[in-house]
Structure 1
């Protein structure tokens, strides 16, 4: 299905072009999400002001667990696939973990105790817009208070990104991964 709002086309205003050059790897065209946001310089600026892909309080693995679980739960194949393609290997995700991010549970055997705690937080936020005390304490063993705040913000931001990518019906990027097919050994949720 076609995108609901056409992306902006180059040349972009200087501030937008500068941002795109900073965030995209050399030789990789800007994501459709970014060029769609570039239709409005104010909204583009607001979107990138909320970015949490810098070196904050989280490890790359923690950050990508949150982004990929949140976008999978929101069924944003667009954003999930971009993040798995760019960061999945760097975050150390195995093929089993990549499948589990989409079809599994935080209790799957492929996850460490810390990974499981991060994923439980994502699932609770998605389901209840809150984190129960047991899940909070399980995560608190592994990270500090500032990291907890960043995790909540990151999950919320990528829920917003999922709204955008899904509702705009953005076409999947050619290099992005697709949601894996559920293996026959995994029971449906």
Structure 2
């Protein structure tokens, strides 16, 4: 049994301004109910309004390959124990963009040395891990990242990790209930492809 929700999300019917706010957070033309996270943020409309441009900018950026973005998001959410957000992204973005079951499992239970990652993905995982553990990166990793990404991309990946730490904090404090359609963290028992 999961821990009880601490901050209940808004439920319909919504006030017109809240309905407009939630519509901006959801993808255009979607018929999915606004996410519990967004309905929780809508309790504080001013904060939600300030947050949305950065979140949308990260998801809409053309500077970082969307698959690499999802590697960063999945690893960051896993390291922060943000199963809610990990599960939403696994279903809505990661899987459709091509993250395999082995890769998704590795974001939770594996490490950058798992054979399911290519060099750029491995670099993103290492960046996520070092940022999570130390709030900086080693000179060795920065040099490696410099062979894989330009400085703009390194900054964007770093901001992405920071954004999803913020999201993880909000989820953890509010104890946002899982979406019924989202994935759960995979079991740690199955081996990752290419490993013994």
TM-score relative to the length of structure 2? 0.88
Distance 1:140 1:18, change over 3 A: farther
How many pairs align?
186
1:110 alignment partner, SS class = coil
**Deviation for aligned residue 1:14:** 4.5
Unaligned segments of structure 2, at least 5 residues: none
**Deviation for aligned residue 1:143:** 1.6
Pairing of 1:79-118 with structure 2 (within 5 A):
79-118=85-124
Task: Describe the superposition over 1:23-64 as per-residue Cα deviations: whole angstroms up to 9, x where unpaired.
Answer: 424110111110011012111112213212112411101110
Asked whether the 8 Å contact 1:16–1:44 carries over to 2, the reply is no
Unaligned segments of structure 1, at least 5 residues: none
Please identify, of 167-176 and 86-95, the stretch whose mean Cα deviation from structure 2 is larger: 86-95
Structure 1: distance between partners of 2:50 and 2:10: 17
2:148 alignment partner, SS class = coil
Q: Identify the residue that residue 169 of structure 2 maps to in structure 1.
A: 163
Establish whether residue 34 from structure 1 lines up as the match of residue 47 from structure 2.
no
Q: Identify the residue that residue 157 of structure 2 maps to in structure 1.
A: 151
Structure 1: distance between partners of 2:24 and 2:38: 12
TM-score relative to the length of structure 1? 0.91
**Deviation for aligned residue 1:166:** 1.4
**Deviation for aligned residue 1:94:** 1.0
2:47 alignment partner, SS class = helix
Structure 2: distance between partners of 1:92 and 1:184: 20
Asked whether the 8 Å contact 2:22–2:42 carries over to 1, the reply is no
Pairing of 1:19-98 with structure 2 (within 5 A):
19-25=21-27, 26-51=30-55, 52-98=58-104
Asked whether the 8 Å contact 2:25–2:38 carries over to 1, the reply is no
